[in-house]
Amino acid sequence: MQGAEVDPALAAVTRQVSGHAAPATVPSGPECGQPLAAAVAELPVLDASGRQVPFGALFRERRAVVVFVRHFLCYICKEYVEDLAKIPKSFLQEADVTLIVIGQSSYHHIEPFCKLTGYSHEIYVDPEREIYKKLGMKRGEEIASSGNSPHIKSNILSGSIRSLWRAVTGPLFDFQGDPAQQGGTLILGPGNNIHFIHRDKNRLDHKPINSVLQLVGVRHVDFTRRPSVIHV
């Protein structure tokens, strides 16, 4: 969990909910508050219809867990989002929090990706990667031990073959985003406030979902049940 930053107020809430301290460092400088969020608030994201929405509108009036994925052909991202799809909306509503996925493909890929993963929460794309860049998301792989992810089921061979098959059989032969771009996870809002930020060092360095949900008071989710998704 190196690289994860959480504000003291959110850590206090986590201790009240779980009885444990949040295993992350206290942020300093611009990431402890509004400047970084304000820098990206007016940048646009696109919904599945291609409609532009200011990124800041997604968390201006509410608290949101925002997951930036690498690209929609990445089998690791696919399997991670399959588990995000298992989070009951009622759990999020109880905690008064919204779940949002951000990709970096054309908006045309949103609907097929949601059908593929079974994901029904909010999702947008940043095709120019302007928000990724402003937030300091890494590009390229950093060699670091990320351990075994509880969300990834495929090995690198089978996962890569499936990704390649989806690329060559899709209506547009593209990688649905920059293959070198890494993602990350944030907790934002209400207002231009960043409470938590984790920038992935490599494709396996994403945050375990329950550890993020715990920070916003969302109940533990059992990710062992099988999803009803299409495997190709």
Q: Is residue 128 part of a domain?
A: yes
Element (H, E) at 124: strand 122-125
Q: Is residue 222 part of a domain?
A: no
**What's 188's domain CATH number?**
3.40.30.10
170 Cβ contact partners less than 8 Å away, ≥ 6 residues apart: 112, 176
pLDDT means per 10 residues, the chain with 232 residues, are 53 43 38 78 97 97 95 85 96 97 93 93 97 93 64 56 53 66 95 94 87 96 66 42
Confirm if 40 and 55 have CB atoms less than 8 A apart. yes
H helix runs in the chain, sequence order:
8-18, 34-41, 75-84, 89-95, 110-117, 130-134, 156-169, 209-215
Res 223: pLDDT? 86
Q: Is residue 46 part of a domain?
A: yes
Predicted TM-score (pTM) of the model is 0.77
Res 33: pLDDT? 55
Res 31: pLDDT? 46
CA 76 to chain centre: 12
Q: Is residue 226 part of a domain?
A: no
Res 88: pLDDT? 96
Q: Is residue 24 part of a domain?
A: no
Range of the domain at 99: 34-141+148-213
Rounded Cα distance between 31 and 41, Å, is 14
